[in-house]
Amino acid sequence: MLTDAGADGLVLFNRFYQPDLDLEKLAVVPNLHLSHPDEMRLPLRWIAILYGRIAADLALTSGIHTGHDVLKGVAAGASITMMASVLLQKGIHHLTDCLREMEDWLIDYEYESLAQLRGSLSQLNCAEPAAFERANYMRVLNSYRLDWVQKA
């Protein structure tokens, strides 16, 4: 295991930047697509599953765009979240908005610190641990169908 080899932190999951092919120039070209908030779901799920099961800090990357996204990562069990795409889009001042959003949420929900929130919605600590498992697949599909029926 990585922690046995000395790792004390893991990043889940760094994005892979893959080139594209330009058929006109017959060349390999860079093709950067900035992250979208939906991309945080995979690392969020795995951090929630791994939290408390391995002796390493967990870092959530990909799709962190708001203060609420940071809070979700911490609630899942992340020790750190990383934000880049939204800062490229909105500028460094966006961090002030995220911090304010986080502070407001912590006050509204009576949390004294991020440490108190950390891991509270991990698989080990949430009310429905099966929500992180494959067995939850049909429930997820049915929830989409129910949403669609209700809107119709």
Domains with residue ranges and CATH for the chain: 9-125 (3.20.20.70)
| CA 110 centroid distance within chain | 23
Angle, helices 67-76/41-50, rounded to nearest 10 degrees = 30
Q: Which of 16, 13, 17, 39 is nearest to 28 (CA)?
A: 17
Locate tokens 């949403």: which residue?
A: 147
Give residue-wise pLDDT tens across range 82-140: 999 999 999 999 999 999 999 999 999 999 999 999 999 999 987 777 776 765 666 66
Residue type, 49: I
Query: What tokens does 75 get?
Result: 């609630």
pLDDT above 60 for 81? yes
> Which of left, alpha, beta for 148 (phi over 0: left; psi -120 to 50: alpha)?
alpha
- Please state whether beta strands 80-81 and 57-60 pair in parallel, antiparallel, or not at all (unpaired): parallel
Residue 59 has what pLDDT? 94
Q: Which residue has the higher pLDDT, 32 or 59?
A: 59
Eight-state DSSP code of residue 36: -
- Please state whether beta strands 20-22 and 9-12 pair in parallel, antiparallel, or not at all (unpaired): unpaired
